[in-house]
Amino acid sequence: MKLSRTLPLNGFLALAACGGGASAVFPVDNPSGSVLSFSETTVSIANQNIDVALPRNSTFDSGPFLGGSRSTVEGEQILVSSATDATYAAMLISPDDAFAVDLFAGRLAPTQDLPTGTASMTGTYVGSILFAGNDTPGSPIAGTVALDVDFDDMLISGTISERGVQLFDDAVELSLRDITLAETSIETDGVFRGASAHAGYEVSNGDYAGAIGGDAGDEVVGQVVLYDRDADGTIISGEAGIFAIGH
């Protein structure tokens, strides 16, 4: 498994995996013009790069995230997304010849003023494990994101925990190691980016990025991309996911 990560100046996060990859649009005010829509039968996302509508599949619902899927020749394509009038987050897993996980998170409207004081905020995380030596993703996983926000000092940090996954057809429940979201600064427009890591590995590093939104600054959306190595520096696994608070 070959993983590489880049953060070009245009704010595009990328994690390449096994000839495919995971990518994330850095969350500003709807950078890709994404439109998410839901009905009783479909979940869809459309922007300048992607236009996908998938049949609703409650198997992939988690908290505010609604899921859709369809079978393809290469495997199952999965879309998980959540949106309010102010913010959105979505993850598209496409098991084609170049397996990819695309992440989208951002604001549909600017936040005028951030609140003051401190806040502890919790919400839902969904993601996908990228296994070493395997071109296909693990089953989508779900967990809890908890953020500590200091609006006076403009700092944010947190953890992603209680993550479980069902692997393959055996439906084996696994308890996954927590993800640490290191303390980082919040920009004046409510956007942030920092370092992420799995607890317990010899080397685990990556990025997380997000934006605070909503009329009262009570919504937070973001994305996480990271990878793990053993003591010899060999990549063991990677992970890509999104989170939403206040949805």
Task: Report pLDDT for 18.
Answer: 33
For the chain, the DSSP string reads --EEEE--TT-EEEEEETTEEEEEE--SBSTT--EEEE-SSEEEEESSS-EEEEEB-GGG-BTTBEEEEEE-SSSEEEEEEEE-SSEEEEEEEE-STT-EEEEEEEESS-------SEEEEEEEEEEEEEETT-SSBPPPEEEEEEEEEETTTTEEEEEEEEEEEEEGGGTEEEEPPPEEEEEEEBPTTSEEEEEEEETTSSEEEEEEEEEEESTTS-EEEEEEEEEEE-TTS-EEEEEEEEEEE--
Q: Which two tokens stand for residue 24?
A: 């994330």
Task: List, for residues 101-159, the tens digit of each pLDDT value.
Answer: 888 888 888 787 899 999 999 999 999 887 655 545 566 889 999 999 999 999 999 99
Taking only the tens place, the pLDDT of each residue in 159-216 is 999 887 755 445 556 667 899 999 999 998 899 999 998 876 666 678 899 999 998 8
- Per-residue confidence (pLDDT) for residue 70, from 0 to 100: 93
Q: Which two tokens stand for residue 8?
A: 């070009």
Q: What is the pLDDT of residues 2-41, one digit of tens each?
A: 222 222 222 333 333 333 345 555 556 666 678 899 999 9
Neighbours of 176 (CB within 10 A): 19
pLDDT score recorded for residue 200:
66
- What does the pLDDT read at residue 234? 75
What domains sit in the chain, N to C, each tagged with a CATH number? 3-245 (2.40.160.90)
pLDDT digit string (tens) for 44-102?
998 877 889 999 999 899 999 999 999 988 788 999 999 999 999 999 988 765 567 88
pLDDT at 206: 86
